[in-house]
Amino acid sequence: MKLRNIPRPFIPLLSLICRLALAIIFFYAGIEKIINPSDFAVAIYNYQLLPDFAVNLSAIFLPWLEILIATSLVSGIFKRGASMISALLFLTFATALTINLVRGLDISCGCFGASSGNISWFYLARDLSLFCMSVFILIYDRGWRYFFV
């Protein structure tokens, strides 16, 4: 699959920019959730999608997964796996947002810990665009060495 309207040298650069942007987002979101896991657990609980026993486990596991994804995207180690997990996470987040927007719940997003606003269609669009960035990285990323060879 080729992107016909984008000149070839810009595809690796765009992929690198997407990788670094996602890494920054995941790192910031993970750190905010690690600092205050109880607020994040409340945000997960308010989505009313997980059983009670899975809420705290998710609140502890998910931030560390986000930090691991960020580290992988920056270092380039297991970047394809990180971008695939990233895409699956954003698809999961988008699904959870859609379900609760349709339900009409007015709850905190929980995306960036306690500093998150209430869910909205904008957050859904943001998650879907981040999903597209993850898929773009998965398909087109060539790594750091492309720029130094």
Nearest to 112 by CA among 51, 58, 56, 39: 39
Total domains in the chain come to 1
Instruction: Indicate whether 122 belongs to any domain.
Output: yes
Instruction: Indicate whether 4 belongs to any domain.
Output: no
CA distances from 141 to 9, 44, 134, 136, 144 (A): 12, 32, 10, 8, 9
Each residue's pLDDT expressed in tens, for the chain with a length of 149 residues: 555 665 566 788 888 899 999 999 999 999 999 998 888 999 999 999 999 999 999 999 999 999 999 999 999 889 899 999 999 999 999 999 999 999 988 888 888 876 677 888 999 999 999 999 999 999 887 765 555 44
CB atoms within 10 A of CB 2: 8
Query: Residue 32 belongs to what domain range?
Result: 10-141
